[in-house]
Amino acid sequence: MKILGVDPGTTRIGWGLIEHQEGALRLLDYGTLEIKDKTQQARLLTLGNSFHNLLIKMTPDIAGIEQLFFAKNQKTALSVAEARGVLLLEMMRAEIPVFEYRPIEIKQAVANFGRTDKRGVAKMVALLLGVPALKGHDDASDALAIAIATYYLHRRGAAE
């Protein structure tokens, strides 16, 4: 089973693809989509096209995405919500089951503690995937954490 994790943002979207095979989680690929368009409308269009192409390349069986939780700046929160909507739409169009999780649920599933900081989460992600360290932006390691949480929480939900 291939599991995609998505960390939504306005100009940088993290993604991570893992696989569960023979009782173990394995890292397949991860990275970020960098959106540099000047207007929100152009960013959303570029995001939709880029993410669509990524989904075609990766062919995940299920996906997890972080719920919007931080609204200190309402303008930023609205922009992230719009981007998140585009990401959800593309996954639904591709007929990929999508599960949504709060940050605390993701941290609890990966690090067994809902208040773990980003560095602690990244270390646990690397440990769980059997890699020495993760490179790149936090958005990508966060996306891998979402993929791992999706595996654990989806598996638990299917068993109940």
Largest CA distance in the chain: 46
How far is residue 4's CA from residue 146's CA, in Å, rounded to a whole number?
8
| b/e code 63-76 from CB counts within 10 Å (16+ = b) | bbbbebeeeeeeee
How far is residue 50's CA from residue 6's CA, in Å, rounded to a whole number?
13
Q: What is the pLDDT of residue 160?
A: 47
Q: What is the mean pLDDT of each run of 10 residues along the chain (160 residues)?
A: 95 97 94 95 97 98 89 77 97 98 94 86 95 92 97 72
Q: Which residues are catalytic?
A: 7, 66, 139
Domain coordinates of the chain in residue numbers? 2-159
Q: What is the pLDDT of residue 158?
A: 54
CATH number of the domain at 2-159, out of 1.10.620.20, 3.40.190.10, 1.10.10.60, 3.30.420.10? 3.30.420.10
Q: What is the pLDDT of residue 68?
A: 83
Q: What is the pLDDT of residue 74?
A: 74
How far is residue 47's CA from residue 10's CA, in Å, rounded to a whole number?
9
Q: What is the pLDDT of residue 11?
A: 92
